[in-house]
Structure 1
Amino acid sequence: MIDRLEKEVDMLERHLQVLKMVIENEPIGIVKMSNETGYPHHKVRYSLRVLEEENLIEPSSQGAITTERTEEFVADLDDKLAETIGTLEGMKIEGVAEVES
């Protein structure tokens, strides 16, 4: 169960890193992103596809570029992450010395 959560967090981190690269270097292509991040091309391509489906980036002839929605998403990101962290903190099971079997 936790393994899936860790994989999702890793994937979200990659998506956000790719988005940050687009914001800072637009237009930017898959090869440059892959070389700079160390992620394989197919993982960068997948992240770009996810970001495009969310309307956060769009393709251009020179590479990925941001959209009108990107700025709003980035502005809300810290609050949404803090909210999620709070939810995860509330899920902790504390004070249990042993779990009986």
Structure 2
Amino acid sequence: MIDRLEKEVDMLERHLQVLRIVIESEPIGIVKMSNETGYPHHKVRYSLRVLEEETLIEPSSQGAITTERTAEFVEELDGKIDGIVEKLDGMKIEDAPEAES
């Protein structure tokens, strides 16, 4: 159960890293992004597809570029992540009595 969540967080981290690179270096292509991130081309391509589906980037003849929606998403991102972290902190079972074997 937790392993799936960890994989999802890793994938989200990759998507956000790809978005950050597009914001900083637009327009930018898959090969350059792959070289900068160390992610294989197919993973960069998948992240770009996800970001495009969310209308955060769009393709251009020179590479990926941001959209009108990108700035608003970035402004809201920290607050949403903080909310998720708070929710996850509330799920901890630190003070629960130890389970019997």
1:24 aligns with 2:24: yes
Q: Unpaired runs of 5+ in structure 1?
A: none
State whether structure 2 residue 9 is matched by structure 1 residue 6. Answer: no
Give secondary structure in 1 for the equivalent of 2:65.
strand
**What does residue 57 of structure 2 align with?**
57
What CA distance in whole angstroms lies between the structure 1 residues aligned with 2:50 and 2:69?
14
1:97: how far off? 4.1
What is the distance in 1 between the residues matched to 2:79 and 2:46?
Answer: 25
Q: CA offset at residue 21 of structure 1?
A: 0.2
Give the C-alpha shift of residue 95 in structure 1: 1.4
Please state how far the C-alpha of 1:94 moved relative to its aligned partner.
Answer: 1.9
Displacement, 1:76? Answer: 0.2
Shift of 1:81: 0.2
Moved over 6 A (4+): none
- Paired with 1:34 and 1:86, the residues of 2 have a C-alpha distance of 32
> For 1:26-68, what per-residue CA distance to the aligned partner results, in whole angstroms no more than 9, with x for missing partners?
0000000001110000000000000000000000000000000
Tell me the number of residue pairs that the alignment of Structure 1 and Structure 2 aligns: 101
Identity of aligned residues (%): 80
TM-score by length of 1: 0.97
Shift of 1:98: 1.4
Looking at structure 2, the residues matched to 65 and 34 of structure 1 have their Cα atoms a distance apart, in angstroms, of 16
One-letter amino acid of the counterpart of residue 79, structure 1: G
Query: What root-mean-square deviation, in Å, do the aligned CA atoms of Structure 1 and Structure 2 show?
Result: 0.8
45-54 or 88-97: bigger deviation = 88-97
